[in-house]
Amino acid sequence: MDIDLAGRTAVVTGGSKGIGLAVVRNLAGSGARVIAGANNPSPEIEALARDGQVTFVETDLADPDGPARLVAAAGDRVHILVNNVGSARARPGGFLSITDDDWAASLTLNLMAAVRATRAALPGMLAAGAGVVVMTCSVNARLPDPAVLDYSAAKAGLAGFAKALSKEVGPRGIRVNTVSPGPVATDLWLGSDGVAATVSHATGAKASDVQSQAAAQSVTGRFSQPAEVADLILYLVSDQAANITGSDFTIDGGLIPTW
């Protein structure tokens, strides 16, 4: 499918690696001007920035003003907002091991960063009578897992926020959707501090075995790739999806059975 986003400006939170980086690549490759934000640059996002179509903004998206600073760097008009930033910490110690600080950190990055970025971008979209917001949610919004309890709760909040917002702003020309991946081959799962490594340290199991067991829960027997999630997001921000709003799209290899 040929998607042309020439003349449009997109903002991507958490755009330096993983799903966010793949989204940045897709948007830029389709002609959009992309403003990507994250705590730290990666070599990959720096290479994209050198080409001129991508601007990287180093900003702490957990800071209350961080998302607004990122959106401000895009100028007066944002056509596309992809709220992608997020983080999951495995909680092998269970609910009672999760402190107030843990809860605050999870809710801030997985929910409030999206709320704040949307708050900053939405006035321009409303003034123009058009815009698209996509939230990277998670299957854990509907499949709560005690191993990532606070993350599951935060993503459920994100799903509710997106659905309610879609009802408010849909009549004014703004579409809001969520994409809910299962396990994806990114640092969130596979990094040195990722879910597999954390569970490995707590249980003594090999990280590779933790990963294999998680993959085996999907019908396809594998993790999704960041590019596969990014392709779905690219479609949702395009004109081909012009009548899709208030919807959630699962990409999990059949992890959640639906019938």
Tokens found for residue 85: 């930033």
Could you tell me the domains of the chain?
A: 9-182+225-250 (3.40.50.720), 183-223 (no CATH)
pLDDT digits (tens, 9 = 90+) for 40-81: 999 999 999 998 899 999 999 999 999 999 999 999 999 999
Catalytic option among 56, 151, 161, 223: 151
Rounded to whole angstroms, the Cα distance separating 258 from 234 reads: 24
Tokens found for residue 132: 């698209």
pLDDT digits (tens, 9 = 90+) for 205-243: 777 877 888 888 889 999 889 999 999 999 999 999 999
Residues with Cβ within 8 Å of residue 107, at least 6 apart in sequence = 150, 153, 154, 157
pLDDT reading at 101 higher than 80: yes
| Beta-sheet strands, E only, within 29-126 | 33-38, 54-58, 80-83
Rounded to whole angstroms, the Cα distance separating 127 from 119 reads: 13
Q: Which residues pair with 179 in a beta bridge?
A: 136, 249
Rounded to whole angstroms, the Cα distance separating 133 from 126 reads: 12
> Can 151 be counted among the known catalytic residues?
yes
